[in-house]
Chain A
């Protein structure tokens, strides 16, 4: 069964450094999402992306965050200058396009980001 793949599984970085989290969505999917889960808290929506542009973003997704689809397979989340509070599990998800009411979101296994 096709899966959403995320790399790395764990990323450790120093505060103020830039990080790029990578995702390979399912190959025929065209809608992409990033969510995050701070330890002990709910999974929160960050951003959705379709047709090479952001469809929707939350208030969490400020100027420190950006997303990109650099080629036909990867979908990346960049945090420009990491803060301690960015430490969380980051989930990528993807879905097919077409009939919105019939397409579900498939999740990757997540990247745990630790900011020291």
Chain B
């Protein structure tokens, strides 16, 4: 089955700097890659997703890139702010409605 690895497990950045989280997946049939943000005690919320027919997607300060050949995708957060502090999960699926296989999560701390 699918396996998703996520790095780093923790990331500390200075406010205003960029943060990058990387994920690799094993199943070449996966074609949907969402990113969820989970603040302490709250629900995981989708922040951005990408499908395999696209190499990059951007939404304000957040961007995701996908390299299908290498089977990896990355989350980029620019101009980080304290409210970006949270745990971020990457996931992979064969379609948006099918089961998600998650990475291990990255705890991001943005220091003011």
Contact = CB atoms under 8 A, between A and B. Distances in A.
A97 B96 CA distance: 11
A104 B46 contact: yes
Interface string B15-46: 00000000000000000101010000111111
Contacts of B104: 41-42
Contacts of A103: 96-97
B102 interface: yes
Nearest to B2: A45
Given A107-B44, A108-B43, A109-B43, A45 B100 contact: yes
Nearest to A101: B96
Interface string A94-108: 010100111111111
Contacts of B99: 33, 45, 48, 56, 58
Interface size class of B (residues with CB under 8 A): 20 to 34
Contacts of A107: 36, 43-45
Interface size class of A (residues with CB under 8 A): 20 to 34
Interface string A52-88: 0000101000000000000000000000000000000
9 contacts: A42-B105, A43-B102, A43-B105, A48-B99, A91-B44, A105-B46, A107-B43, A109-B41, A109-B42
